[in-house]
Structure 1
Amino acid sequence: MAGRRARRSAPLGARFARLWLGTTASGLATWALPFVLGLGVLTRELSAAGLGVVLAARTAGFLLAVPVSGVLADRRSRRQVVLWAGLAAAVGSPVLALGLGRSVALMAAAAVVVGAGQGACRPAFQALVAEIVEPERRQAANAAIALSVRVVTLTAPALTALLAAVLSTTALLVGTGLVWLCAALVPPAGRHGVDTAAPRASFTREFGEGVREARRHPWFLAGLGALTTVIATGYSASSVVLPLVSRDRYGTEAVLAAALTAYTVGGLLGALVLTRWRPRVQGWTALGALACHGFVPLALLLPVHWTVVVAAYVVAGLGIELFNVPWFTATQREVAPDKLARVSSLDFLLSYGLAPVGLALIVPAIDAFGEYAVLGTCAVVCFLAPVAAMAVPTTRGFTRPTTSVPFPGRKR
């Protein structure tokens, strides 16, 4: 037992440090791009409508690439997928700069490529963690990656603004390409072996194998359903309503800025907690934390002091990381290693893919039923969806029943 604790607290090593640096670079480039494009709107090099087109194109590229990369990362080297994904985004970024002020169509085409690189690297990065890090240390590794993502989210706007004082928007766009180049070249190779001589099925069949693998894990389907529901309702509603509440109820945009910062700070705290703490009942703890997102639409609904709104965002940010880290760790532990990237791609495809749908439907719903009805419904759904997922027995520990046959090489 003492030896296991020592292994858990030991440094994660140089190979993980390279992986962490690569994921951090990809996160920095991903989060910086909207702010850099926003600067293009301020300098009148890009219209507001053009910004919407470019960001929508990036999202489309992300969603198209995620399932493809999941199959490729299981079919070939995960490191190779990260390399080509990062290089694609690195090449697309200067083309974005070339189109700035000249052609929105060119920028949109480049944004599809950048979004595809962003989406393609996500399942491969998840699978690389499982290849590089020992099972008992993966929660700490995932927490360290989550920590870097939150730090990047917190610092990317300020860093972009500081660099904008000395660099043009075109130079900043080229700079995001250099960051993507770091994400492509720095991560280490994993241990995923590929039999290149074996005959390959079609893409559809191989992706279907990933779906069937996901169905073998009821806790995964239940948790993914809860996560997708919370993002599509609570997250989308708060994204649309928070600016309005900040302006109309409190008379200042400062509440908007404070709430968004508080959400990131909450996520930062959650990642820090999970670098050390391992809940005994991981699944139910994670789902209970996910349900905390319901406090956000509830705070926006009620006539409370602005500090209550900010506190609700801290709790929601804390809760989402208390869910994410055990969720990723359990997926890396329970899913068959040769199907891990495909299952992870299904995770990203649904949880990220339905968020734009939620955003698109929230405004018509508010127009039809009113702000209070929509926020109240979203709050109830956010509280109940994770609780409903807990009814699935295997969600208690995010694990399959002990009677299941272990995969070769897995230590129980």
Structure 2
Amino acid sequence: MTENAVPAAPSVFRNTSFLRLWTGTTASGLAMWALPFVLGLAVLERSITAVELGVVLATRTAGFLAAVPVAGVLADRHSRRAVVFWSCVTAGVATPMIAVGMGRSLLLMAVAATIVGAGQGACRPAFQALVAEVVPEQGRQQANAATTLAIRVTTLVAPSLTALASLLLDARALLAVTAVAWLCAALVPPKGSAGQPRPAIARTGLVAEFADGIREARRHPWMLAGLGALTAVIATGYSATAVLLPLISRDRYGTEAVLAAATTAHTLGALAGAVLIARWRPRAAGWAALAGLGCYASIPLGLLVPVHPVVLVGAYAVAGIGIELFNVPWFTAIQREVEPAKLARVSSLDFLLSYGLAPVGLALIAPALGRFGESAVLAGCVAVCLAAPAAAALVPSSRGFRRTP
């Protein structure tokens, strides 16, 4: 069989359980991505100040990071469907409390945002583990591609939908709409098809059980290498995008249109990558995924070199394609290789390190710019985005994202 040949397989959307899970995941993603834009509209309406917006978003992130490891343990202890339900209900109930606090109490808004963030963080590893319960192994890459496709579409349309809805509703009413989306995410997903029941966990405490998940991850050298590469790329490439793209768009090109075009191209590229990897099965799946991750170097490289705006936009599209060529095989391999009883904990470790440490990169890039200058920082980001995946590929088991090379 050639590298690109794919055996005919039924669509995962014929799997009713997965369709329900996909719908719930999409609803949670819509609620999660809509919140910052709704709060931005509240600033424009003068319901809250820019400082209050910053506090609310920061406390939401803190709640997310605090909940992810705890949720991984709980999702391995109990029904993953139950963890999804209670985490999404929690986020849905707390969201309207942000609206209640607008113009009245920053403390109430901050506490509510922390709870919303905790609900968001708690549902992530449980959703990820549920895919392995409702989809047979041969369909999981397609299922993960469909899920990431939905998330990318959500990030693309959430701002537009929020802006259109704001013509009819104020920020408080829009927060109520996002709460409904959270309730949909809580109610729609199915129970896991427990054809392969998980063994009972000897409960030794949250910390000890999470440490057991870390030990499981350490059993897979490819996972540690890939997670290190992913963390490094997000901490540098993502930081360059978030901090320097707006400045370069304004100062080099004299228009914010480049900023909008580049971020849109990144999302469209990710959509194309998800469609491609839904059916492509490279023989060296891990190496192909790590090569895709290395494509993120095109972003800081495009920001470093004074290229035509079209070239910069194209660099963002390439990075978007590459990140999904990594994400989908990565999630699929974790679901295949990790012990089912520890899958949620390993997934929570993945989220915690890769995306949880992204704010550290954002916090460090500003002082780095002041100390070393824009060109040196961008060159360093290019080097990290190329070197980290290449170093991960040197681990023998990284070739196929399997413990046995």
Give the alignment of 1:161-310 within 5 angstroms: 161-192=163-194, 193=197, 199-310=202-313
User: Counterpart of 1:313?
Assistant: 316
Q: 2: distance between equivalents of 1:12 and 1:107?
A: 42
In 2, distance between residues paired with 1:58 and 1:374? 29
* Separation of aligned partners in 2, 1:191 and 1:205: 28
Q: Select 1:18's aligned residue among 20, 29, 37.
A: 20
CA–CA separation in structure 1 for the residues paired with 2:18 and 2:132: 11
Aligned Cα root-mean-square deviation (Å): 1.4
1:388, 1:195 → 2: CA distance?
A: 36
Residue type matched to 1:236 in 2?
S
Equivalent residue letter for 2:146 = A
Q: Who is 2:113 aligned against?
A: 111
Contact 2:96 2:175 in 1 (8 A): yes
**Secondary structure, counterpart of 2:355 in structure 1:** helix
Task: Please report how far the alpha carbon of residue 46 of structure 1 lies from its aligned counterpart in structure 2 after TM superposition.
Answer: 1.1
Q: What is the one-letter code of the residue matched to 2:192? A: G
- Residue 5 of structure 1 and its aligned partner are, at CA, apart by 2.6
Return the TM-score normalized by structure 1.
0.95
Tell me what 2:93 maps to: 91
SS in 2 for 1:7: coil
Q: Secondary structure at the match of 2:318?
A: helix
Question: Which one-letter code corresponds to 1:321 in the other structure?
Answer: E
Contact 2:40 2:53 in 1 (8 A): yes
Task: After TM superposition, give the deviation of residue 357 of structure 1 in Å.
Answer: 0.5
2:12–2:18 CA contact under 8 A, matched in 1: no
Matching residue of 2:125: 123
Paired residues of 1:12 and 1:141 also in contact (CA < 8 A): no
2:345 aligns with: 342
Question: Cα deviations across residues 14-35 of structure 1 (Å, max 9, x unaligned)?
Answer: 1110000000001000110000
Secondary structure (helix, strand or coil) at the match of 1:242 reads helix
Letter in 2 for 1:102: R
- Partner SS for 2:47: coil
Once the two structures are TM-superposed, the CA of residue 94 in structure 1 deviates from its matched residue by: 0.5
- Residue 10 to residue 230, structure 1, CA distance change in 2 (3 Å): closer
Question: Deviation of residue 13 (structure 1)?
Answer: 1.1
Q: Output the amino acid matched with 1:328.
A: F
Q: Is 1:237–1:378's contact at 8 Å kept on the other side of the alignment? A: yes
Counting aligned pairs with the same residue, the percent is 65
Query: What displacement does 1:191 show?
Result: 3.4
- The 2-side partners of 1:263 and 1:199 are apart by 44
- 1:399 deviation in Å? 0.3
Give the C-alpha shift of residue 79 in structure 1: 0.2
How far does the alpha carbon of each residue in 1:254-309 deviate from its partner, in whole angstroms, 9 at most, with x for none? 00000110010010000111121111111000000000100101110111111111
Quote the Cα distance in structure 2 between the aligned partners of 1:221 and 1:187: 31
Deviation at 1:8, TM superposition (A): 4.9
* Aligned amino acid, residue 260 of structure 1: T
CA distance in structure 2 between the aligned counterparts of 1:9 and 1:280, rounded to whole angstroms? 22
Count of equivalent residues: 399
**Which of 187-196 and 95-104 deviates more?**
187-196
* 8 A contact 2:22–2:147 mirrored in 1: yes
Which residue number corresponds to residue 55 of structure 1? 57
**Measured at CA, do residues 320 and 195 of structure 1 come closer, stay the same or move farther in structure 2, by a change above 3 Å?**
closer
Q: Secondary structure at the match of 2:281?
A: coil
CA distance in 2, matches of 1:152, 1:373: 35
Q: Is residue 329 of structure 1 aligned with residue 332 of structure 2?
A: yes
* Residues 208-236 of structure 1, C-alpha deviations (whole Å, 9 max, x = no match): 11000000000000000000000001111
- The offset of 1:199, in angstroms, is 4.8
Distance 1:332 1:48 in 2: 41
For 2:53, the aligned partner's letter is L
1:12 and 1:143 mapped to 2: Cα distance?
15
Secondary structure of the 1:394 match is helix
| 4+ runs deviating over 6 angstroms | none
Corresponding residue of 2:367: 364
Amino acid at match of 2:90: A
What residue is the counterpart of 2:154 in the other structure? 152
Q: For 1:10 and 1:182, how far apart are their aligned partners in 2?
A: 21
- Once the 2 structures are TM-superposed, how far is the Cα of residue 351 of structure 1 from its aligned partner? 0.6
What are the Cα deviations for residues 46-81 of structure 1, in whole angstroms up to 9, with x where unaligned?
111111110000000000000000000000000000
Is the contact between residue 54 and residue 107 of structure 1 (CA under 8 Å) also seen in structure 2? yes
Residue equivalent to 2:104: 102
| Aligned residue type for 2:384 | V
- Residue 6 of structure 1 corresponds to which residue in structure 2? 8
Contiguous gaps of at least 5 residues in structure 2: none
Task: Quote the offset at 1:195 in angstroms.
Answer: 6.6
Consecutive unaligned residues of structure 1, counting only runs of 5 or more, are 403-412
Aligned-partner Cα distance in 2 for 1:11–1:118: 25
Q: Secondary structure at the match of 2:356?
A: helix
Please say if residues 68 and 125 of structure 2, whose CA atoms lie closer than 8 Å, have aligned partners that are also in contact. Answer: yes
Counterpart-to-counterpart distance in 2, 1:334 and 1:359 = 32
**What is the distance in 2 between the residues matched to 1:40 and 1:9?**
42
Q: Does 1:399 align with 2:402?
A: yes
Query: Using the alignment, how far apart are the partners of 1:206 and 1:218 within structure 2?
Result: 20
CA contact (8 A) 2:12 2:142 kept: no
Which residue matches 1:408? none
What's the counterpart of residue 390 of structure 2? 387
